Amino acid sequence: MEKVSPAAAGVSPQAVLDTLDALERAGVEMHSFMLMRHGKVCAKGWWQPFAPEYKHIMFSFSKSFTSTAIGFAEQEGLLSLDEKLADIFADALPENPSENLKKAEIKHLLSMSCGHETEVDIFSGSGNMASDFMAQPFVYEPGTHFMYNTAGTNMLCAILKLKSGKNLAEFLKPRLFEPLGMSDDLTCFTLPEGIEAGGFGFSMRTEDMARFIQFVSNKGEWEGKRLLNSGWFDRASAKQVENGDGTTDWGMGYGYQFWRCEPEGVFRGDGAYGQYGIVFTEQDAALAITSAELNMQACLDAIWTHLLPGFKDSPITGEAKAEQALEYRLKHLSLPVIPGFQATESQEALNGSVFIPDSQYHSFTAIIGGAGCTATKYPVPQDDSLKSISFIFKDGKAYLECRQHSGIYALELGIQGAYAITDVNGVPFAVNACWRSDKKLEALIRNLNTASGRQAVFEFDADKLKLTLDYTPPFGSGLADTDFSEVKFTKAN
């Protein structure tokens, strides 16, 4: 994508700086952003150790891709939004289907208003997603009640596969990914029955997000060529159903897998922990963000308060110092690091030591994989288990070596005051570690394909080792397949 300076694009460099300051004050952990104005990139940055080449899990930002795929399918006559679920999945209907179920249509899945009161758990059902979905009571008349429904988005993917014979990513590749110049390795997590999880399953690089959200901002055009009719995005961004009282960015009305925002003319796709694609229609601007934040409103508030007023109708003058400061800052963005304190005697004593877990323990790298690791590539087999860990210190560097049944996997620990990056079977891990005392080693460990990682504290006491794990950022429990907080080891003889 063509690049220009923010001032040339009519974006105040000071407004971008103020936005970054506000995000930092609010404690938002940013991973990347890319700002476009008039179709050109005018500001971008990655907080190290995150970088342009790494994919990042999208979570529910994936839903906006599913919506766009349905738009293409409608344009090509493969389906109609008025088609009823009872007709499409006639073989999966429960006995004596309710009148509300009989009324449910594709458009109601798109607008999260199919009539469910609670969502189907797609991972603990019968193995027939359509049957489980339709067996869930349709309490409300379709189109009258908003209920956020990821299972409904996955049902759209099932419909797409029935109608086109293709899964979501395969369907979008020639229609969207290739024309927009997006990465050629984009994939979506596949559910057990072979349907891609368009409700949460994409991972992609920030520039891929940016190209897509710019395409949405262009209402289906790319480089002067019409790919998808503009009317689709008029409908997708319009209020299709009420979803709140209009006082927050999650209550301004919902479109077709897009959220309407509080500022006039702004809408977005978004995913858990702050994966955003925001369209500013009146300002002809678009913004892609990846982050790790539970208070997602804080991120949006910073954008509405500081960035939005910075869009001007003509190039910016008189902000040369701010532009220089912004350029420097964007080149030096980083997550906080812990200093490189080293304990020479402890390192010499531990070098080569092997510790065996006192009880059965799942794969170490899978557990520290971060929020959403189930929807990304695992670096080791999911049913693997840990046999031992050992510590290697050489040439001023430190390594944690994990011996699994499937092999040996090593992470550089980054004890020199910066993150060290290790590729483990195609998955990038970044680790920053330091000694808190001569018996306590702390490490921040991140899977760079996900939104979070682990804080690991190794405490040594004679031939015993206690490993304490917590999430980074501190998201709480329930974000990985197995949530161990403490593991005990004994030194091998």
Q: Which CATH number goes with the domain that contains 354?
A: 2.40.128.20
CB 39 within 8 A of CB 327: no
In a domain, 412, yes or no: yes
Assigned domain for 465 exists: yes
130 near 89, Cβ under 8 Å?
Answer: yes
Question: How far does the chain reach from its first CA to its final CA, in angstroms?
Answer: 58
Is residue 481 predicted with pLDDT exceeding 50? no
- Evaluate if residue 143 carries a pLDDT over 60: yes
DSSP string, 126-155: -S-HHHHHHHS-B-S-TTS-----HHHHHH
What is the rounded CA–CA span in Å between residue 67 and residue 72? 9
Shared domain for 194 and 320, answered yes or no, is: yes
% of the chain beyond a pLDDT of 70: 96
Q: Within a domain: residue 339?
A: no
- Regarding whether 323 and 349 lie in a shared domain, the answer is no
265 in the same domain as 303: yes
State pLDDT tens for residues 158-171.
999 999 999 999 99
Query: C-alpha 321: how far from its chain's center?
Result: 34
What span, in angstroms and rounded, lies between the C-alpha atoms of 480 and 491?
Answer: 28
Indicate the pairing of strand 354-357 with strand 285-292: unpaired
* Domain end (from 331, 364, 395): 331
For residues 480 and 375, what is the distance between their CA atoms, to the nearest angstrom? 11
Residues 327 and 448 in one domain: no
Backbone angles phi, psi at 449, to 5 degrees: -90, -5
Last residue of one domain, picked from the residues 305, 331, 357: 331
In this structure, is residue 30 part of a structural domain? yes
Angle of helix 150-164 versus helix 62-75 axis, rounded to 10: 30
Whole-number pLDDT of residue 365:
73
Tell me if residue 469 falls in helix, strand or coil: strand
Our separate counts of H helices and E strands in the chain read 14, 21
Distances (CA, A) of 259 to 60, 245, 278: 11, 14, 9
| DSSP assignments along 169-222, one per residue | HHHHIIIIITTTT--TT-EE-B-TTS-B-TTT-EEE-HHHHHHHHHHHHTTSEE
Smallest CA-to-CA distance from 99 within 109, 110, 84 is with: 84
Sheet holding 202-204, edge to edge: 56-57, 202-204, 187-188
CATH number of the domain that residue 197 is part of: 3.40.710.10
Compute the distance between CA of residue 63 and CA of residue 202 in angstroms, rounded to an integer: 9
Cis peptide before 142 (omega within 30 of 0): no
Q: Same domain, yes or no, for 168 and 301?
A: yes
Residue 488 has pLDDT above 50, yes or no: yes
Q: What pLDDT score does 341 carry?
A: 84
Please indicate, yes or no, whether residues 276 and 354 belong to a single structural domain of this protein.
no
Q: What is the pLDDT of residues 270-316, one digit of tens each?
A: 999 999 999 999 999 999 999 998 889 999 999 999 999 999 999 99
What's the pLDDT band for 480 if we cut at 50, 70, 90? Answer: very low
Q: Are residues 272 and 383 in the same domain?
A: no
CA-based nearest residue to 258, from 242, 244, 239, 274: 239
Tokens of 66: 């599913």
Non-local (6+) Cβ contacts of 11 within 8 A are 35, 37, 42, 43, 285, 310, 311, 312, 316
Q: Give the whole-angstrom CA distance, residue 237 versus residue 98.
A: 30
Q: What is the pLDDT of residues 378-421, one digit of tens each?
A: 777 777 889 999 999 999 899 999 999 888 999 999 999 999 99
Size of the chain, expressed as the number of residues it contains: 493
Tens-digit pLDDT profile for residues 49-105: 999 999 999 999 999 999 999 999 999 999 999 999 999 999 999 999 999 999 999
**Neighbouring C-beta atoms of residue 193, cutoff 10 Å:** 12
Domain boundary pick from 278, 310, 331:
331
Q: Let me know: does 65 contact 212? Beta carbons within 8 Å.
A: yes
101 found inside a domain = no
Domain holding 322, by residue range, is: 13-76+155-331
The total number of structural domains that make up the chain: 2
Which band of pLDDT confidence, cut at 50, 70 and 90, is reported for residue 251? very high
- Verify that 166 and 306 share a domain, yes or no: yes
292 shares a domain with 172: yes
- Choice between 237 and 474, residue whose per-residue pLDDT is larger: 237
Decide if 109 is inside a domain: no
In terms of Cα–Cα distance, which of 35, 17, 9, 57 is closest to 448? 57
Give the tokens for residue 217. 């901002």
Q: Is the pLDDT of residue 371 over 70?
A: no
Token code pair at residue 319: 């902000």
Instruction: Output the DSSP codes for 14-42.
Output: HHHHHHHHHHHHTT-EEEEEEEEETTEEE
The residue-averaged pLDDT of 32-40 equals: 98
Instruction: Band the pLDDT of 364: cuts 50, 70, 90.
Output: confident
Token pair belonging to 403 = 């011996």
Once rounded to an integer, what is the mean pLDDT over residues 217-246?
97
Q: What is the pLDDT of residue 379?
A: 76
Question: What integer pLDDT is reported at residue 474 of this predicted model?
Answer: 62
Cβ–Cβ under 8 Å, residues 182 and 211: yes
Other CB atoms within a 10 A radius of the CB of residue 407 amount to 11
Structure tokens at 260: 């309407």
- Do 172 and 297 belong to one domain? yes
Asked whether residue 107 is assigned to any structural domain, the reply reads no
Residue 477: the pLDDT is 45
**What is the pLDDT of the chain when averaged over all its residues?**
93
Before 52, cis peptide (omega within 30)? no
In a domain, 137, yes or no: no
